[in-house]
């Protein structure tokens, strides 16, 4: 299985987001649950990453629950299990291409956003058994006046943010 490039991942995620915004704006305008939005985005990603499995909140590492050991050294939380919003991977293997965390613009909880960014970096850590190739943080516009809002995309590799951050303004 060949590795994906940074540009390929960025392009595929942007295409999937465009499809989501075009076909499922209703979900964003009506500020539905993040899981519903993640599910629709995962459907579009599956079309673009056809050699892989695309799953929402997939919490297994082979047969075991998914934990991020080095992550829990950085934060204190009661539940050590992790549930990535979207995984692009091969099930029951250690081939993990892309992990995505999503936040809606209507979720103003800065701690939750920071928490997702720390989780993404932990998923990418070479010291972690999952060692995802790429991590993406998507901030999606939600609520009324959707067309005047923006969405942003941050892509990470090897725990570092890749040089590009995309922001889209105006009509989505």
Q: How far apart are CA 139 and CA 114, in angstroms?
A: 12
E strands, 6-159, where?
Answer: 53-56, 60-61, 64-65, 86-89, 96-104, 134-140, 151-157
pLDDT at 172: 42
Specify which of 68-72, 88-92, 154-158 reaches the highest per-range mean pLDDT: 88-92
Nearest to 128 by CA among 138, 137, 140, 120: 120
Asked whether residue 46 is domain-assigned, the answer is yes
Q: Containing domain of residue 96, as a range?
A: 6-168
Asked whether residue 65 is domain-assigned, the answer is yes
pLDDT at 44: 98
Write down the pTM of the prediction: 0.85
Asked whether residue 89 is domain-assigned, the answer is yes
Do residues 17 and 138 make contact, with C-beta atoms less than 8 angstroms apart? yes
Alpha helices in 1-109 (DSSP H): 6-23, 25-29, 34-48, 69-72
pLDDT at 170: 38
Mean pLDDT of 32-42: 96
How many separate domains does the chain show?
A: 1
Asked whether residue 152 is domain-assigned, the answer is yes
Instruction: Give how far Cα 81 sits from Cα of 72, 145, 149, Å.
Output: 10, 36, 33
Asked whether residue 36 is domain-assigned, the answer is yes
Lowest mean pLDDT among 60-64, 75-79, 89-93: 75-79
Asked whether residue 1 is domain-assigned, the answer is no
Per DSSP, what are the bridge partners of residue 111? Answer: none
CATH code of 109's domain? 3.90.1570
Asked whether residue 83 is domain-assigned, the answer is yes
Greater model confidence, 66 or 170:
66
CA-atom Rg of the chain in angstroms: 15
The number of beta carbons lying within 10 Å of the beta carbon of residue 69 is 13
Q: How far apart are CA 87 and CA 45, in angstroms?
A: 10
User: Is residue 47 scored above 90 in pLDDT?
Assistant: yes
Asked whether residue 148 is domain-assigned, the answer is yes
Question: Quick one: what percent of the chain has pLDDT higher than 70?
Answer: 73
Up-side HSE of residue 127: CA atoms within 13 Å toward CB? Answer: 9
């Amino acid at each position: 299985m060949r590795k994906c490039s940074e540009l390929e991942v960025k392009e595929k995620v942007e295409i999937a987001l465009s499809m989501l915004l075009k076909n499922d704006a209703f979900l964003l305008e009506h500020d539905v649950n993040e899981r519903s939005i993640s599910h629709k985005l995962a459907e579009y990603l599956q079309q673009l990453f056809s050699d892989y499995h695309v799953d929402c909140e997939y919490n297994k590492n082979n047969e075991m629950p998914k934990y991020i050991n080095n992550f829990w050294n950085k934060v204190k939380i009661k539940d050590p299990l992790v549930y990535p919003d979207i995984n692009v991977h091969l099930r029951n293997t250690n081939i993990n291409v892309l992990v995505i965390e999503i936040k809606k613009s209507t979720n103003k909880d800065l701690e939750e956003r920071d928490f997702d960014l720390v989780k993404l970096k932990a998923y990418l850590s070479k010291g972690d058994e999952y060692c995802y190739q790429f991590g993406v943080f998507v901030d999606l516009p939600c609520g009324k006046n959707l067309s005047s809002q923006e969405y942003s995309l941050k892509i990470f590799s090897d725990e570092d943010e890749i040089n590009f951050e995309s922001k889209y303004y105006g009509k989505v």
